[in-house]
Amino acid sequence: MIFLTRRATFSASHYYWNEDWSAEKNAEVFGRCANRHGHGHNYTLEVTVAGEPDPVTGFVVDLKWLKDVMEREVLEAYDHRHLNLEVPEFAKLIPTTENIAIAVWKRLEPAVTGVGGARLSRVRIYETPEIFAEYRGGQ
């Protein structure tokens, strides 16, 4: 089994806010991240697929194909967007790094499953160089 990872970057803004809480509770729990004007990050996305290399091409999946899938399914929707206001899955879901990783998985998994026998293995989102969340499909 080979694990192949492709990396991409995108810039987006967001804020943390729970509609069921008061403004005071949101400020207490989320601090400066509760500012409804939002703040931005330059995110790094890593997508790992797993599979056996094709005996003819040597590829688990074609890297150009994987780049195109990431662009179409994630980057076009997230790059230079306010996640809370412009991305449907975050209309009611707080766009934490953890929730972004899960949402990216849900966007990519149907497109990747079964292509050349590969499967989506891991999604990792870096919010900063020091903070990342990793999702492996509920494993």
| Beta-carbon count within 10 A of 15 CB | 20
**Active-site annotation holds for 98:** no
- Check 89, 127, 130, 134 and give the catalytic one: 127
Q: Phi first, then psi: give them for residue 95, nearest 5 degrees.
A: -80, 60
Q: Is 37 a catalytic residue?
A: no
109 counts as catalytic: no
User: In the chain, which ranges are continuous DSSP H helix?
Assistant: 23-30, 63-70, 76-78, 83-86, 97-112
Select which of 28, 39, 52, 80 is catalytic.
80
The catalytic position among 19, 33, 39, 89 is 33
What distance in Å separates the CA atoms of residue 45 and residue 138, rounded to the nearest whole number?
18
Catalytic residues: 33, 80, 127
